[in-house]
Amino acid sequence: MLKPKSVVIIGASREPEKVGHVILQNYINAGYDGKLYVVNKNAGEIMGFKSYKSVLDIGDRIDLAVIAIPARFVPQALEECGKAKVKSAVVVSGGFAEIGNNELQDALTRVAEKYNLPTLGPNCLGVMDPRSRNDTLFLPTYKLSKPQVGGVSFVAQSGAVGSTILDLIGGEGFGLSKFISYGNAAHVDEVDILNYLMNDAETKVIVLYIEGIKRGKDFVEIARRISKVKPVIVLKAGRTSAGAAAAHSHTAALAGDYQLQEAIFKQFGFIVANDLSELLYYAKIFVTEQRPKGNRVAIITNGGGAGVLTTDAIASSGVLELAELSAATKKVLQKSMPVLVNVRNPLDLAGDAGSERYSAALEALGTDPNIDMLIAIVLFQTPGADSKVAAKMVEYKDKTDKPVIVLSIGAEYTQMHRIMMESAGLPVYDSPMSAAQSLAALYTYSKYCATHK
């Protein structure tokens, strides 16, 4: 399903506004180099491809069928896929249990089980694998930023949430390994997906947006195992009774008792996010694969107020604490810093700090055994903060085994340098709270792993 050597689009269309047209166009735009077939009973040729009336007429091995036709025709199309020995299917069509049409969804499930045909959906976007250039999403490429290849796999029960996150990831510095939108989970569900990603070498971090858990006992079992292998960041929707009702009408998900689910997530080491922003904050620090040995944080800043706000955020995390600089570190800093710098934590380098001062501070704090993590605040509005400082941050990140993140707040000039640093794998945050929460999540997960080897 994710790395097919041959794909058939059932419901491909000449009409640009049709879902089947967009999917075919996306395969072409992505440069998919496998065999591509189209099925449309009412067309002889579509965008240069011969159009078959049925998948049974193709006469070739098909790894993946993407089905984009009206819901009432889907079970029959899936039946033909089964007879043709198609290896997997993605049903993007909606109009099943999410609108109360349970009988039609049950018919789809029966066909999938009859032929042992792994079927994703219905009512989903499907899958994207940048490495294999496989893209079943019916989202026009000009409407969102497609992420670069990376180590984060994103799983979303909601296609709309998934497309939003894809667009946001495209503007961040980390890349995508897999995207899987599974919709109503009539056949393939979140347990199957997590089990696959747990064993996928290309996936370093799993990000999960979920509305309901279909197989509770099996989910607990996969949760028990997966966090020992790689981090899972989860955002559970439908946490309130109103939200649960909305989830059921959206993907026919049974939301369940959120307090119980959250307890399961935390018991088995999942990183729980409260909103989409936190999903992104956590994903980009976990993909660095750095793990702190403790919870003591040092702060470097070129703005005193930003240092104070970050200290508050560290203290309010409930997990982290401000590191006490060692006597040796203080001595080194007193020699290398101008007299206007008060050697303490947070370490305020003053508004005129440039790359040399940042470098001296990083080197001194990085070797201090009392420090487990570093937050470097770089306010690019000050005279000394420029591209040399950003380059020094990237250089230092590659020299240390301690987690290092940057806090940088600002508009165009700041954003330019943020992109520069994040493209080199250095996480950059835009608020003290997001920086502190991300380090707290990283420490909590590292502690979990250390105690559950």
9 and 23 Cβ atoms separated by less than 8 Å = yes
Q: Is the full-model pTM beyond 0.85? A: yes
pLDDT tens-digit map of 394-448? 999 989 999 999 999 999 999 999 999 998 999 999 999 999 999 999 999 999 9
122 and 74 Cβ atoms separated by less than 8 Å = yes
The rounded mean pLDDT for the chain is: 93
pLDDT tens-digit map of 268-304? 999 999 999 999 999 999 999 989 999 999 999 999 9
**197-211, 233-247, 379-393: which has the minimum mean pLDDT?**
233-247
| Alpha-carbon distances, residue 238 vs 209, 233, 235, 242, 288 (angstroms) | 11, 17, 10, 7, 30
Give the separation between CA 339 and CA 260, rounded to whole angstroms. 55
Give the separation between CA 39 and CA 74, rounded to whole angstroms. 13
pLDDT surpassing 70 at residue 248: no
Q: Which residues are 321's β-sheet partners?
A: 296
Q: Which residues are 405's β-sheet partners?
A: 375
What per-residue string of b and e applies to 145-172 under the rule 16 or more CB within 10 Å gives b?
A: ebbeebbbbbbbbbbebbbebbebbeeb
Q: Report residue 198 CA to chain centroid gap.
A: 14
Burial of 242 (0-12, 13-18, 19+ CB in 10 A): exposed
Give the separation between CA 233 and CA 154, rounded to whole angstroms. 9
Give the separation between CA 89 and CA 440, rounded to whole angstroms. 40
Give the separation between CA 420 and CA 417, rounded to whole angstroms. 5
Q: Report residue 332 CA to chain centroid gap.
A: 41
Give the separation between CA 252 and CA 91, rounded to whole angstroms. 15
pLDDT of 178 reads: 96
* Nearest residue to 61 (alpha-carbon basis) of 7, 136, 116: 7
Q: What sign does the dihedral 227-232-238-241 (CA atoms) show?
A: positive
Contacts of 329 (CB under 8 A, 6+ apart): 364, 365, 367, 368, 370
Domains in the chain (CATH in brackets) are 1-123 (3.40.50.720), 144-287 (3.40.50.261), 296-451 (3.40.50.261)
